[in-house]
Structure 1
């Protein structure tokens, strides 16, 4: 027998045994130890299931959490939007810029404050175009926009005008609320259309959004609004911690009234100490390099202050 080899083998075994004991001691360390407690809290905060409040409301209307499927559908949207970190974080940052524009219009039109979250679930407060062709914060279709006084030409598209499209959305919601007698159904109709909701209510013989069997998108729509609302009302409870200086501030602008056509927007922007990039960012409804103004008309344009 090789004594030297046996000794080496014993040393290796002893080393692995000691390492195993040390690892076990770390894994069962005192939960009261501050370092251990911090580590456990961090892991828990990253994986904690969001809690659903006992009382949930949309625009003052109670959500029947005890009704079939309601709690679970809301839970799904709470989980999805809590852990969809990058998008939800951007929503929170953008809201500090755009909610001060949207909220006063909702108040003026008598629309509940909860509907500011509709702009988030529609567009994420971005000037996006859907695959179906809906555009802007409030995602109006090209054919629907003129019904709500949003002008569309080769040069301008007021679906991208935040103020005007917010007024248009309010007018739609007021019509839907009057027809259905429910803000939840009004919200659902914003996604599916008034005719679609009307048809489903009649065919299914029910009276509330919470009872309706709908296509996947509309079935999730109001629940997503509720989830976004819950996160916005207490973001840190859902793991979103944002320093005050990290929010996007409202643009600092001044308004210029234009009563004659502009042949070149780049030249116009430079004349006012700016550039086309800033002009189009502040006025995304300008869709061309020029703007025609009818005789006797005037148009407000925002430029950096």
Structure 2
């Protein structure tokens, strides 16, 4: 009897163990299937960037905890963070153009943050033209450009001259600040025009740009400036890994001062040891195959041959925060 019970116990134990094992395997299989279903099907993860409570702009801390401001800033920061190729190119180009722009802003008492306005306006392309016919790095309309000191003629368009257009932009920004006394409103007016912003401030009984109901482009404008500033000040934090050799090097040019007409710029270029194409690239304000000065004096930039090649890696880093150590 004892032996019989022992055998039954063994059989019962084995049967129970088998049931338990089957259940465990079944549960394990279900868990494994669930885990596989929940695993990402792409090789990289998209993480929402952290949104701070305040953002610095032109010496002030802007509180962006209000829903429309937080979400507006989030939209632009997320866009620039994951617009990888373009954002990376902006940093590379800034190494060439910020050394030109920054001293002009400083000399005109314009906050340094306004260099980021040029970034979002033109992606730092001095030759770009918008559908509305705004031209150059600061995207100036012809009438505005002439009003603030740029020459625009059939053969010259100084909106494409980085120095001259930056000076013109500074004059506009100073005039707008004298009118509003607030740099965020000034930035909005650069996009929409002082007339539009003044009218909306009055009609909506508001005193700052963040409280205005505006067209989408203008609504996004200041957030875009603040967002690209965040990324430029800490590219690595937002996933942009750059080395000194990746940045576009600045050029050293010889200035040729001309005050008389040049009937053929191709001949002029050849006489100065460069191609017509390079003459146009380094002087995008030359808009024809000839130059009619009309009695004015212009400075033509002639690049040095050594700068035309990347035979040695770039070593000039305008901002050390842009590159990995």
Say whether the fold is shared (TM-score over 0.5): yes
Give the Å deviation of 1:221: 0.3
Q: Deviations over 1:243-267 (max 9, x none)?
A: 2101111122111111321111010
Q: Does the 8 Å CA contact 1:61/1:183 hold for their aligned counterparts?
A: no
Q: Deviations over 1:169-201 (max 9, x none)?
A: 011011111111100000000000000000110
CA distance in 2, matches of 1:298, 1:186: 32
Q: CA RMSD in A?
A: 2.0
Aligned to 1:204: 204
Aligned to 1:219: 219
Aligned to 1:125: 124
Aligned to 1:107: 106
Number of matched pairs: 270
Aligned to 1:47: 46
Secondary structure of 1:69's counterpart equals: helix
Give the Å deviation of 1:68: 4.0
Moved more, 212-221 or 52-61: 52-61
Q: What TM-score do you get using the length of structure 2 for normalisation?
A: 0.79
- Structure 1: 5+ residue stretches without partners: 1-16, 29-38
2:300 aligned with 1:301: yes
- Structure 2: 5+ residue stretches without partners: 1-24, 305-325
Aligned to 1:73: 72
For residues 1-305 of structure 1, the aligned pairs below 5 Å read: 24=32, 43=44, 46-126=45-125, 127-295=127-295, 297-305=296-304
CA distance in 2, matches of 1:235, 1:298: 41
Aligned to 1:34: none
Give the number of the structure whose alpha-carbon radius of gyration is greater.
2
Q: What TM-score do you get using the length of structure 1 for normalisation?
A: 0.84
Q: Deviations over 1:179-226 (max 9, x none)?
A: 111000000000000000001100100101111111100000000001
Secondary structure of 2:143's counterpart equals: coil
Which ranges of 4 or more aligned residues in structure 1 deviate by more than 3 Å?
none
Q: Does the 8 Å CA contact 2:176/2:194 hold for their aligned counterparts?
A: yes
CA distance in 1, matches of 2:233, 2:242: 14
